[in-house]
Structure 1
Amino acid sequence: MSWLNNALSHISPRWALNREAAKQSFEAIKGYDAAKPSRTHKAKKEGRGANQAVFAAGKSLREQARWLDENHDLSIGILDRMEERIIGAQGIVVEPQPRDLAGNILDDLANELQRRFGNWSLKPDVTGRYSRPELERLVLRTALRDGEVFGQHILGKVPKLIHPNEQGTPYSIEALEPDFIPYELNDVAKRIRQGFEVNAWGQVVNYHVLLDHPADQQGFRYKTKPIAKAKMLHLGLFKRLHQLRGISLFHGIMTRLADIKDYEESERVAARISAALAFVIKRGVPDMFNPEGKPTQDIKFSPGMTTTLAPGEDIETLESNRPNVHLVDFRNGQLKAAAAGSRGSYSSIARDYKGSYSSQRQELVEQDESNRIMQQWFCAGWSRPVYRNWLKMEQLNKVDPLILPADLDINTLYDGVYYGPTMPWIDPKKEAQGWEMMIAGNAATEAEWARARGRNPAEVKRQRKREVEYNRENDMVTDNDPDKTLGESNSEKNSNKQNARSNSARRDRRQRRADRTARDGESE
């Protein structure tokens, strides 16, 4: 009975009884069993808005996730695997795709843009401490663990800042942890919610950013500055519509991870205690003890030793049931559930790679789609805005000016292909044969094949061309080289060349005779 009915029962018991009966009748006519609370089904509900729910729990979840990332090996492993499969060692690869007015890719301009972007990627952030792949991995880890991450575009000249990149591009990124946008900053009159200033349509207009990290503040300094949305990057994990702040990837598995850690620690301590207890000495009745009251002997164990016991004493060894034989099965079951709630792969998290080729490939295929989703999320929220802002500012580079060709379709200047690590190969021979069949059937391209191996197609072509030319110049024969003259003797080559020159000379003579005949006919 609710508190209101309890109060009414003292004033009008019949009224309270009727209210309770109506409530029970309403519960009885609900169309789904899952909507009916019972002794075995609590039917827990969440009626709050997305922002209310995040405001109530977001900060606590963020801090708990950080603790797990600092102290729990499995939690560290989940985030490490996400970094490897989403960002990888080379970071998100960007292939510029500028085209001319006829729709053809301008290879020279694309290669120049890629070279310049690679030079800028050495020091892209304002501190100059991280390369672009390092920064992207840190940004991803922060977004997954804390639920979100921010970045400010620093464009052009800024007081007291020298852009760390040495290529003359006036652009850097200031990466910010979510602590810089305070949850507690709310102002109804100014339409500020959890540090975000929004308009009537729910669009973010300004981010109110603290001047210092809350943990680094001294005294009573608690000042914020508004930064326009166009100058900020916000990469967040969102689970509901209208949600302003992101939520940690661990929000659904946090209690499970904490329980796994506590349980393993308890089992580990129990095993250590059991291992330390080797034996006990059993004594008989009191009249069998040493009559002089002297303590019994100390027994120091060593391999192959023998000893004697005092009257009335006996040695009993202790049998330990630790480690628990069911620990591995229980732990693996919990890890499978944790992997399901974190977009992760059980095998990579648990380091359990048992199974056939088919089962391992099936897991990789399913995990690959999850990785692609996360890569698309990261590219859309971080990599693409960064590349486009860099290219915009690169055109203002005065140290090494960028020259655009006259036939460039300016609408395609910012086009590009973004991709990260691809699905690893279990059996390279089978994978290569599959790609060859798809290319032969016009179902795939060589560029897709190169990207599937995590390589830049243009760079692969350049290196391959260089190798083929070197092989031909040095008479090196390979199975995939179409040059039929490789491997022939010098005399055969000279003969073939002489025949080719003779054939060419004969063709030239025939052409000259035909030209003379045509001129004679015109003169007649």
Structure 2
Amino acid sequence: MSNKKDRRRAAAPQAKGYSEAGASLTRRALKGFVPDSGAPNEDINRNNATLRQRARMLYMAAPVATAAINTNRTKVIGTGLTLKASVDREVLGISPEAAKKWQHAAEMEFRLWAGKKQNCDALGLNNFESLQQLALKSWLLSGDVFALVKRYPATPLNPYTLRLHIVEADRACTPSEYGGGVTIGGFVEGKIPEGKPGAGHKVYDGVEVDSNGRVVAYHISNTYPHEITSEPQKWQRVEAYGAKTGLPNILHIMDSERPDQYRGVPYLAQVIEPLLQLRRYTESELMAALVQSFFTAWIETETDPSDTPFNEVGAGDIAGVPTEVNADGGPMANNISDDDNEYEMGPGTVTHLAPGEKVNFGNPNIPTAGFETFVKTLCKLVGAALELPYDVLIKEFNSSYSASRGALLEAWEAFKMRRKWFVDDFCQPVYEMFLAEAVALGRINAPGFFTDPLVREAWCGARWIGPVQGSLDPKKEAEAALMLIDNAIKTHEQVSREMSGGDWEENVEQLQRENELLTQAGGNKVTVVSASPKEGDGDED
């Protein structure tokens, strides 16, 4: 008997680990849940054309989607990320004074190029700060964005040839002559035939990679996939980096979520469906409320339906003559008709209906009582997916101070992360290309820049200052910052950068000059007061 039980136990399948949990194929809730995920090219690139179109449509038509994109634009970039040169003095072996002087000169040269739209934009439409805003918004809407590096002749007012041309994601696509998979957006993947530059390389949605999977070039179309134009579609192959200089010929701004991923996913991709349903629900409630605003009444009558039960209501004036006049010949105040077959409404009006007639008024229960609760719940779910707490997404800070501050802090972590990605993909490479040209032209002196990569990296050091975190109670937060400084948890420089985006050393120098002027004028000097001065300590630092 025991042998029979043992054989039966051995013959029965044994469920182990996740096969009885999330990987179960027998549980009723999971039977129909059998996804078939493939390579990033299959899961992402072949669907990206549809995702981009839907994300852009929601941005244009769904307020919550618009708020999500614009909030990121405002918090990550704001009016623009400002260059703050920061060279490594130890590697370069220069004094603090020399470093400060060089940094100021580099910032002024960069401002000369970046401050005017005709100096930095290949199209002459935006200065560098506006190009940042455009690139970030396009990145979020389309999943990625490109910046072509072009060279224009120098002018008397602009000695630099560097120009940037922002290219939308749709124009980076696989040339049709390379074959491969086809989707709504065009040819997604293909292989470069013999006799062409890069022969044998694969092209994934416009991104050319070699046998090692390394990106070597991009293929940019002269037209958009759905553009109505008589111009024939052509592609330009742009090598990722210059063979002689090593500088990028094109910048690709994207956020990778999977290995071997060559194209980005729109920021709204995971919430397209809930945003669309929320838009539909909101529109239906809005229309229902609009219909309810029309005061409608029905007259129920037992008269012969073939007869006209009453005349047109509110016929108004005929040929400029009021239908009724008062004793002085002027129009009656309410112009109420005394026709038995005409029904009119007016202040303090009493109307007698004919026998068998009664009035029924439309009174739909619109809008739905749970509308606000449902919308808030959905916005919280959408905000969680987009790393935007509900308070920040909807701009509604009705909670307590602690809750509102917590929401701001949580959102700020995501903003800082995206700013770092954007700086690494766009701002810093642009500055390094600019600096290389400035040094080559002799406008900036940087010994060893073209001979030693380590020295070059030291000269290229920079910080990019953008919008600072919002403050709900500036007094409390300032006192907390001073306490952190007093206990050496943070430095003056860190606090100045985080709270105002400024430079502490520049602030000290400026305060020194201001105090000298105030002393000359007989005014009071500006002092720095500690958050919690100890007994015997002075208030002035």
Q: Is the TM value for this pair above 0.5?
A: yes
Question: Is the alpha carbon distance of 1:46 and 1:137 closer, same or farther for their aligned partners in structure 2, counting shifts above 3 Å?
Answer: farther
Residue 311 of structure 1: aligned partner: 355
Instruction: Find the partner of 2:232 among 205, 221, 244.
Output: 221
Contact 1:99 1:409 in 2 (8 A): no
| 2:458 counterpart of 1:465 | no
Question: Is the alpha carbon distance of 1:191 and 1:293 closer, same or farther for their aligned partners in structure 2, counting shifts above 3 Å?
Answer: closer
Matches within 5 A, 1:12-23: none
| 2:258 counterpart of 1:212 | no
Contact 1:290 1:311 in 2 (8 A): no
Residue 159 of structure 2: aligned partner: 168
Matches within 5 A, 1:405-484: 411-457=457-503, 458-478=505-525, 480=527
Instruction: Find the partner of 1:40 among 13, 29, 51.
Output: 29
Residue 187 of structure 1: aligned partner: 190
Deviates more, 1:256-265 or 1:365-374: 365-374
Instruction: Find the partner of 1:196 among 199, 207, 213.
Output: 207
Contact 1:91 1:132 in 2 (8 A): no
**Offset at residue 69 of structure 1 (A):** 1.5
Contact 1:420 1:454 in 2 (8 A): no
The whole-number CA distance in structure 2 between the counterparts of 1:435 and 1:267 is 47
**Could you tell me which amino acid in structure 1 is paired with residue 517 of structure 2?**
Y
**Offset at residue 107 of structure 1 (A):** 0.7
Gaps of 5+ in 2: 1-11, 175-186, 192-199, 242-248, 311-340, 530-541
Once the two structures are superposed, residues 159-187 of structure 1 have per-residue CA deviations (whole angstroms, 9 ceiling, x without a partner) of xx446893312211111001111151533
**Offset at residue 360 of structure 1 (A):** 0.8
**Offset at residue 93 of structure 1 (A):** 4.2
Q: TM-score, normalised by structure 1?
A: 0.79
The whole-number CA distance in structure 1 between the counterparts of 2:213 and 2:459 is 32
Question: Is the alpha carbon distance of 1:423 and 1:195 closer, same or farther for their aligned partners in structure 2, counting shifts above 3 Å?
Answer: same
The whole-number CA distance in structure 2 between the counterparts of 1:76 and 1:30 is 40
The whole-number CA distance in structure 2 between the counterparts of 1:223 and 1:292 is 71
The whole-number CA distance in structure 2 between the counterparts of 1:29 and 1:441 is 50
| 2:159 counterpart of 1:115 | no
The whole-number CA distance in structure 1 between the counterparts of 2:500 and 2:407 is 19
Contact 2:160 2:437 in 1 (8 A): yes
Structure with higher Rg: it is: 1
Question: Is the alpha carbon distance of 1:366 and 1:481 closer, same or farther for their aligned partners in structure 2, counting shifts above 3 Å?
Answer: closer
**Could you tell me which amino acid in structure 1 is paired with residue 21 of structure 2?**
D
The whole-number CA distance in structure 1 between the counterparts of 2:210 and 2:220 is 18
Once the two structures are superposed, residues 48-67 of structure 1 have per-residue CA deviations (whole angstroms, 9 ceiling, x without a partner) of 11111112211100011111
Residue 237 of structure 1: aligned partner: 255
Matches within 5 A, 1:293-312: 293-296=307-310, 297-312=341-356
Residue 384 of structure 1: aligned partner: 428
The whole-number CA distance in structure 1 between the counterparts of 2:156 and 2:79 is 21
The whole-number CA distance in structure 2 between the counterparts of 1:463 and 1:150 is 40
Instruction: Find the partner of 1:128 among 124, 128, 136.
Output: 124
Contact 1:391 1:414 in 2 (8 A): yes
| 2:81 counterpart of 1:80 | no
**Could you tell me which amino acid in structure 2 is paired with residue 238 of structure 1?**
S
Question: Is the alpha carbon distance of 1:367 and 1:202 closer, same or farther for their aligned partners in structure 2, counting shifts above 3 Å?
Answer: same
The whole-number CA distance in structure 2 between the counterparts of 1:61 and 1:365 is 30
Question: Is the alpha carbon distance of 1:50 and 1:475 closer, same or farther for their aligned partners in structure 2, counting shifts above 3 Å?
Answer: same
Contact 2:80 2:132 in 1 (8 A): no
Contact 1:128 1:164 in 2 (8 A): no
Once the two structures are superposed, residues 175-202 of structure 1 have per-residue CA deviations (whole angstroms, 9 ceiling, x without a partner) of 1001111151533343222211111221
Question: Is the alpha carbon distance of 1:273 and 1:28 closer, same or farther for their aligned partners in structure 2, counting shifts above 3 Å?
Answer: farther
Question: Is the alpha carbon distance of 1:293 and 1:194 closer, same or farther for their aligned partners in structure 2, counting shifts above 3 Å?
Answer: closer
| 2:416 counterpart of 1:372 | yes
The whole-number CA distance in structure 2 between the counterparts of 1:328 and 1:366 is 24
The whole-number CA distance in structure 2 between the counterparts of 1:203 and 1:76 is 35
Contact 1:91 1:137 in 2 (8 A): no
Residue 444 of structure 2: aligned partner: 402
Question: Is the alpha carbon distance of 1:392 and 1:303 closer, same or farther for their aligned partners in structure 2, counting shifts above 3 Å?
Answer: farther
Once the two structures are superposed, residues 317-366 of structure 1 have per-residue CA deviations (whole angstroms, 9 ceiling, x without a partner) of 33231111211110010001111111223112222211111111111111
Contact 1:82 1:344 in 2 (8 A): no
**Offset at residue 32 of structure 1 (A):** 3.1
Contact 1:97 1:417 in 2 (8 A): no
Question: Is the alpha carbon distance of 1:473 and 1:137 closer, same or farther for their aligned partners in structure 2, counting shifts above 3 Å?
Answer: same
Contact 1:250 1:342 in 2 (8 A): yes
The whole-number CA distance in structure 1 between the counterparts of 2:267 and 2:305 is 69
Residue 150 of structure 1: aligned partner: 146
**Could you tell me which amino acid in structure 2 is paired with residue 402 of structure 1?**
I
Contact 1:237 1:249 in 2 (8 A): no
| 2:168 counterpart of 1:177 | yes
The whole-number CA distance in structure 1 between the counterparts of 2:155 and 2:398 is 47
Q: TM-score, normalised by structure 2?
A: 0.77
SS for the counterpart of 1:249 is coil
SS for the counterpart of 2:29 is coil
**Offset at residue 112 of structure 1 (A):** 1.4
The whole-number CA distance in structure 1 between the counterparts of 2:346 and 2:137 is 51
Deviates more, 1:272-281 or 1:221-230: 272-281
**Offset at residue 461 of structure 1 (A):** 3.8
Contact 1:375 1:419 in 2 (8 A): no
Number of residue pairs the alignment of both structures matches: 448
SS for the counterpart of 2:309 is coil
The whole-number CA distance in structure 1 between the counterparts of 2:17 and 2:508 is 69
Contact 1:97 1:412 in 2 (8 A): yes
Sequence identity percentage:
22
Residue 19 of structure 2: aligned partner: 31
**Could you tell me which amino acid in structure 2 is paired with residue 173 of structure 1?**
L
Deviates more, 1:249-258 or 1:107-116: 107-116
Question: Is the alpha carbon distance of 1:479 and 1:166 closer, same or farther for their aligned partners in structure 2, counting shifts above 3 Å?
Answer: closer
| 2:61 counterpart of 1:71 | yes
Contact 1:91 1:134 in 2 (8 A): no
**Could you tell me which amino acid in structure 2 is paired with residue 357 of structure 1?**
Y
Once the two structures are superposed, residues 435-477 of structure 1 have per-residue CA deviations (whole angstroms, 9 ceiling, x without a partner) of 1111111221222122113433054344333322211221211
Residue 377 of structure 2: aligned partner: 333
Contact 1:170 1:394 in 2 (8 A): no
Question: Is the alpha carbon distance of 1:305 and 1:228 closer, same or farther for their aligned partners in structure 2, counting shifts above 3 Å?
Answer: same
The whole-number CA distance in structure 2 between the counterparts of 1:390 and 1:344 is 35
SS for the counterpart of 1:187 is strand
SS for the counterpart of 1:34 is coil
Question: Is the alpha carbon distance of 1:49 and 1:350 closer, same or farther for their aligned partners in structure 2, counting shifts above 3 Å?
Answer: same
Gaps of 5+ in 1: 1-23, 483-524
